[in-house]
Structure 1
Amino acid sequence: MIERFETGTRMSKVVKHNGVLYLCGQVGAGDTVAEQTKDCLSRVEALLDNHGSSREHILQAIVWLADMADFAEMNEVWDAWVPEGKAPSRACGEAKLAREQLRVEIIVTAAEAN
C-alpha cells in the first residue's frame, strides 16, 4: 500500500511504501550554508518523527548544493547531526536550486522505526 502525506497539487511531503519513507526535497532558511543546512535537517527530522522514523533510520540522503565550494561548511553541520555509526549512503552534487537564495537542498529516504 502507498500512503501519501501532506499532499498538494504538485507533490506530497512524504510518501510511505513497504515500510520506507520518501521525503520530498527539504530546504532551509538562513543566510549561510550552515544556517540553511541546520534548518533543513531540522525539517527532515520533524518529518521523520511525525511519520514513524528517525535520523537513525535514514537509508539514503542526496544533497544538492548551489555551489560545491560550500561542501565543507555543509559537511560540518551534517557530520554533527548524523548519529555516530548510523551514517546513511549519501551523494552530494551541485545544482541550480529553485530560488536564488537557496544554497542547499536535501532529499532523504528512510526506513520506518520498528
Structure 2
Amino acid sequence: MTITRINPTPRWSDATVFQNVIHFVEVPNDVSTDMADQVRQVLVQAEATLQLAGSDKSRLLMATIYVTDVGDVPALNAAWEAWLPAGAAPSRACIKVELLNPAMKVEIAFVAARA
C-alpha cells in the first residue's frame, strides 16, 4: 500500500494520502490579521491543497480546529459555514490551545476523501 506525500520537506508534507484518504494541516500565512481573515487564509489554502490532492471541500471527512481564544469562535463559525457547500459539513472538533506562534489564532487539521 503506497503512501503519497505531496511536497514533502524534512518536517512535514503539504498533504499525505493513503488509501484515497488525504490528511493535511493549514495555518494562516499572515498572522497580523484578525480571526476572520486568518480563517479565510486557511480555507483558501485548504481548497488549493484539496485540489492538488485530487479532491474538494465537499469531500471533507473530518476537521480538527485549534483556536487560541474561544471569543473568536463566532467569527470562525461564520467563515466556516459560508465556505462549506450545503449538506457537506464534516465531523468537527474545536479545541482551545496555545499555538507555537502567539499571533496565530487558528490552525486546522483536515481529513478528506479523494474524488
Shorter-chain TM range is over 0.9
| Structure 1 residue matching 2:10: 3-state secondary structure | coil
Q: Report the aligned-residue RMSD.
A: 0.8
TM-score (norm 1): 0.95
1:71-112 Cα offsets, whole Å, 9 max, x none, are 111100001001100000000011111201100111100000
- Correspondence 1:81-100 to 2 at 5 A: 81-100=83-102
Matching residue's letter, 1:86 = A
Alignment correspondent of 1:46 = 48
Aligned length: 112
The Cα shift of 1:35 comes to: 0.2
Alignment correspondent of 2:108 = 106
The Cα shift of 1:32 comes to: 0.5
Alignment correspondent of 1:11 = 12
Alignment correspondent of 1:21 = 22
Q: Which blocks of at least 5 consecutive residues in structure 2 are unaligned? A: none
Q: Which blocks of at least 5 consecutive residues in structure 1 are unaligned? A: none
The Cα shift of 1:31 comes to: 1.0
**Structure 1 moving runs of 4+ over 4 Å:** none
Matching residue's letter, 1:41 = L
Matching residue's letter, 2:7 = E
TM-score (norm 2): 0.94
Matching residue's letter, 2:80 = W
Task: Quote the Cα distance in structure 1 between the aligned partners of 2:38 and 2:107.
Answer: 9
